[in-house]
Amino acid sequence: MSSRHFAWLIVLTLTPLSAAAQGGHAGPPLQESVGADQNAGPMIFEPVRSGWLVAPDAKVTQVDGRTSELVGAYAGRITDNTLFIGGGGYWMANPSRDRELAYGGLVVQWLARTSAPLGFGIKGLVGGGGTTLTQTITPLTRRFDNDRRDIVAGRDVRVRSHRAFFVAEPEADVLVRLTRHMRLTVGAGYRFVAADRGADSQLRGPVGTLGLQIGGGS
């Protein structure tokens, strides 16, 4: 056998051994990777607590300088028992021909600790409404007598007017858990109003709220 043939024989003999050695060395990292996945534990899926919520409530506020009661409700969808988006409306509980108020709009609320006995939330209403207000006006009359010009006040006249307005009503609430799907709410806020002819000063003011939330994902 020549030296060339002997060299080729050595190469052919060592090549399978080298491949086997490399394959055997690659085994432990694969086993270590599999072991790491097994130690990670199973994946846990938790359902998102969402559902429909209805909340009738009553408000005590100032309308045209007088204490007034409003009744109404809001309803919508609550997601993960935290974010509520819906709509609501309120109107005066004891309206009269000369004094009325009604408004409504989009309601957004953020809630916390809804599964605890005592929680809290922040709520806001943005929308519009209409009102009937009565004002007392004293007419003035200009009188001419012998080149004299006098201004005489007439008898008081009550004037009733209907006006539309824009409303924004932020509110902070305390939540009292009664059952799994029912909470008592006590809140305090302020009603901001934009209206023409000075009606905003007659309609804006502090608001106290007492309500009941029914439903949701508790």
Model confidence over 57-91: pLDDT tens digits?
A: 999 999 888 899 999 999 999 998 899 999 999 99
User: CATH second-level architecture of 51-215?
Assistant: Beta Barrel (2.40)
Lowest average pLDDT, out of 11-15, 113-117, 164-168, 210-214, goes to 11-15
Reported pTM: 0.68
By the 8 A CB rule, do 64 and 99 touch?
Answer: yes
CA–CA distance, 157 with 60 (Å, rounded to integer): 30
> Apex CA 63: angle with CA 62 and CA 67, to 5°?
45
By the 8 A CB rule, do 162 and 99 touch?
Answer: no
CA–CA distance, 214 with 208 (Å, rounded to integer): 20
Residue-averaged pLDDT of the chain:
79
For the chain, which residues make up each domain, given as ranges? 1-45, 51-215
By the 8 A CB rule, do 97 and 75 touch?
Answer: no
- Give the number of other CB atoms < 10 A from CB of residue 101: 21
Query: Is 50 exceeded by the pLDDT of residue 21?
Result: no
pLDDT digits (tens, 9 = 90+) for 96-153: 887 899 999 999 999 999 889 999 999 999 999 999 887 666 666 666 666 666 555 5
